[in-house]
Homo-oligomer: A and B are copies of this chain.
């Protein structure tokens, strides 16, 4: 292993440590309630080092956003590869989002809850981000191949995924009596019934 590859591995490590701390703190208290000193304390990385790896606080938020948009896109790509029907794809996407919510609630909290536009001036609303656009494309293709009845595309997407996303929000807000997965069957059958051809 060369010296430069050691350095770049280490470089990645520090970035990841900072991003993990920032995810925890941003998801828990929000971007504005999290100071650089907070991140220093929680991550154990010094101010100077943080600013060596990130140009400013905003870039931390941006890098984290990109990291988790990519994570969600990968999740959808995997599903599209293994399932061909829109019905199966939608179903599996919801199951994967539920699993992600229970395994890494902070990721979902940051992606769904945070008002990214308040601190990332050029960010699109989350519903226009790549993972959500791809979810809508899955629904549109289902409409083209006759699995889903002809209807407004946006409405169809809301019918299929809207309920699941609301339940994820409820779960993160702690107002659900049961675990997310216990709601899945009834939720999915109701959602799919409202759009199937």
Q: Which residues of chain A have a CB within 8 Å of any CB of chain B?
A: 29-30, 32-33, 113-115, 118, 125, 127-128, 151-152, 154-155, 158-159, 162-163, 166-167, 169-170, 173, 175-176, 183, 186-187, 190-191, 193-195
How far, in angstroms, from A70 to B184 measured CA to CA in the complex? 34
Contact between A162 and B152, CB atoms less than 8 A apart: no
Which of B114, B128, B176 touches A115 (beta carbons < 8 Å)? B114
Contact between B190 and A115, CB atoms less than 8 A apart: no
**Oligomeric state, in copies:** 2
How far, in angstroms, from A162 to B113 measured CA to CA in the complex? 16
CB distance from A6 to the nearest CB of B (A): 40
Contact between B155 and A187, CB atoms less than 8 A apart: yes
Interface of A is mostly: helix
Contact between B33 and A170, CB atoms less than 8 A apart: no
- In this complex, what residue of B is CB-closest to A178? B152
Contact between A173 and B115, CB atoms less than 8 A apart: no
How far, in angstroms, from A114 to B30 measured CA to CA in the complex? 12
How far, in angstroms, from A173 to B127 measured CA to CA in the complex? 9
What would be 17 A-B contacts, judged by CB atoms less than 8 Å apart?
A29-B118, A114-B115, A115-B115, A125-B173, A127-B170, A127-B175, A128-B173, A151-B190, A152-B183, A155-B163, A155-B167, A158-B162, A158-B163, A158-B166, A162-B162, A162-B166, A191-B194
